[in-house]
């Protein structure tokens, strides 16, 4: 097999990037009956470009890595704009449970308890097809309370309409396959493809995404003093403009931008990337707090994650090109690791 080098990586990456940009140029000319398929195809190709960069981040010079990731970001943002113009937005809503403030509330574990209203910021991510929490303050947000978006929900003629279809709270789905105590997963189901999630403009919230629904990418933007628990997901965790939060998550790729004062308890199978960040603190995923070992292992396998490979401590800072340790991130000391956060979010708050 050909060894990946800087030269042959760009020789493969650049033509694919050019093809994506060409198809983005042509997207407004695609017939309306084919536009969704064309958008889905571009989403997959842009994700492949991003994965190619992050998988080879260790052999690429920092400048090349940054140029390639910026090209991927530009393509993703452009697709979001085009999709917003060309694809009708489905209507859906959610309900949330008010979080009861206590002395042991996870939100009290961070910077302060002073509530600050969420600042509405414009995201470059088109969340029309995502499961979404946005513009909330002081809430306990559980993914099981979300409705599945029209364009994502799959149903037959005898089932509920997409506008009322809720996440199944009884049946366990892992990697798109129904899995019961005596059932073995054998293949993906089209109706249960992983769903992407968008968390936007949240302040002093507790967010629980651990549930029966398979999840893909998690898009996080403008969160303040929140606590998040994310199960093993088959995509990336992408974070922008966050401050004073605790994030617990497991994923293939993790990219964090313009954020500060964060505690990140992470399982990630590629090197995490930070950019324009300060005071970022990392620790390993609290496995035993999230689920019993056998159940958690099943989730890891369903998401395509290797449970034995965790690169949480191999952080790449794109703003620090020197050989010395970046001042913008560090590992949490053993005495700083907070025990019981995930357990509290998953089992105490859900009353």
Q: Please report whether residue 1 resides in a domain.
A: no
On whether both 103 and 49 belong to a single domain, the answer is: no
How do strand 177-178 and strand 173-174 relate by DSSP bridges?
antiparallel
Residue with tokens 């093809």: 19
Residue with tokens 């960069």: 53
Q: Count how many domains the chain has.
A: 2
Exposed/middle/buried for 302, CB within 10 Å: 0-12, 13-18, 19+?
buried
Tokens of 142: 């559980």
Tokens of 238: 């992408």
Say if CB 249 and CB 258 are below 8 A apart.
Answer: no
On whether both 134 and 72 belong to a single domain, the answer is: no
Residue with tokens 């590992």: 331
Residue with tokens 């991510």: 125
How do strand 215-224 and strand 236-240 relate by DSSP bridges?
parallel
* Residues constituting the chain: 351
Q: Please report whether residue 109 resides in a domain.
A: yes
Q: Please report whether residue 187 resides in a domain.
A: yes
**Per-residue confidence in pLDDT tens, the chain, 351 aa:** 456 676 688 888 889 999 999 999 999 999 988 888 888 888 888 888 887 887 777 677 777 878 888 888 888 888 888 888 887 654 444 444 444 433 333 433 333 333 333 333 344 444 556 888 899 999 999 988 776 554 444 443 344 333 333 333 333 333 333 333 333 333 444 446 788 899 999 999 999 998 767 888 899 999 999 999 999 998 899 999 999 999 999 999 999 999 999 999 999 999 999 999 999 999 999 988 887 887 888 888 888 888 889 999 999 998 887 778 899 999 999 889 998 888 888 876 554
Residue with tokens 């978006």: 149
User: CA 348 to CA 346: how far, in whole Å?
Assistant: 6
CATH number, domain at 61? 1.20.58.1250
Say if CB 61 and CB 29 are below 8 A apart.
Answer: no
Domain boundary among 86, 116, 136: 86
On whether both 62 and 163 belong to a single domain, the answer is: no
On whether both 118 and 237 belong to a single domain, the answer is: yes
C-alpha distances (whole Å) from 211 to each of 1, 59, 74, 143, 216 are 40, 37, 32, 7, 13
Domain boundary among 41, 61, 86: 86
Q: Please report whether residue 135 resides in a domain.
A: yes
On whether both 173 and 316 belong to a single domain, the answer is: yes
Say if CB 271 and CB 236 are below 8 A apart.
Answer: no
CATH number, domain at 285? 2.160.20.70
- The pTM (predicted TM-score) of the whole model is 0.61
Which DSSP string corresponds to 66-121?
HHHHHHHHHHHHHHHHHHHHHSPPPP--B--EEPPP-TT-GGGGSS-----PPPP-
Domain boundary among 86, 110, 127: 86
Domain span at residue 167 reads 97-348
DSSP 148: P
User: CA 317 to CA 314: how far, in whole Å?
Assistant: 10
């Amino acid at each position: 097999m050909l060894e990946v080098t800087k030269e042959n990586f760009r020789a493969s990456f650049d033509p694919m990037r050019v093809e994506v940009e060409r198809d983005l140029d042509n997207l407004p000319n695609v017939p309306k009956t084919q536009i969704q398929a064309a958008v889905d195809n571009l989403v997959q190709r842009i994700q492949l470009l991003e994965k190619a960069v992050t998988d080879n981040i260790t052999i690429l010079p920092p400048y090349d890595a940054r140029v390639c990731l910026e090209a991927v970001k530009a393509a993703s943002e452009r697709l979001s704009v085009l999709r917003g113009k060309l694809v009708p937005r489905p209507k859906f809503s959610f309900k949330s449970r008010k979080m009861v403030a206590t002395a042991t509330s996870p939100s009290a574990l961070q910077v302060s308890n002073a509530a600050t209203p969420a600042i509405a910021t414009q995201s470059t991510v088109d969340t029309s097809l995502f499961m979404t929490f946005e513009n909330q303050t002081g809430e306990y947000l559980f993914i099981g309370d979300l409705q599945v978006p029209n364009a994502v929900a799959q149903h037959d003629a005898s089932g509920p309409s997409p506008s009322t279809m809720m996440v199944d709270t009884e049946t366990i789905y892992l990697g798109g396959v129904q899995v019961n105590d005596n059932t073995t997963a054998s293949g993906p189901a089209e109706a249960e493809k992983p769903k992407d999630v968008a968390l936007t403009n949240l302040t002093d919230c507790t967010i629980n995404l651990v549930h029966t629904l398979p999840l893909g990418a998690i898009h996080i933007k403008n969160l303040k003093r929140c606590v998040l628990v994310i199960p093993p997901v088959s995509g990336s965790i992408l974070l922008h403009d966050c401050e004073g939060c605790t994030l617990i998550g497991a994923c293939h790729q993790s990219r964090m931008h313009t954020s500060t004062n964060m505690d990140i308890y992470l399982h990630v199978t590629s090197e995490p990337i930070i950019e324009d960040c300060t005071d970022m603190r990392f620790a390993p995923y609290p496995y035993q707090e999230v689920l019993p070992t056998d159940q958690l292992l099943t989730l890891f396998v369903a998401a395509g994650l290797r449970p034995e490979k965790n690169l949480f401590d191999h952080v790449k800072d794109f703003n620090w090109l020197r050989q010395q340790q970046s001042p913008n991130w560090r590992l949490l000391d053993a005495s700083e690791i907070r025990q019981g956060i995930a357990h509290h979010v998953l089992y105490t708050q859900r009353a």
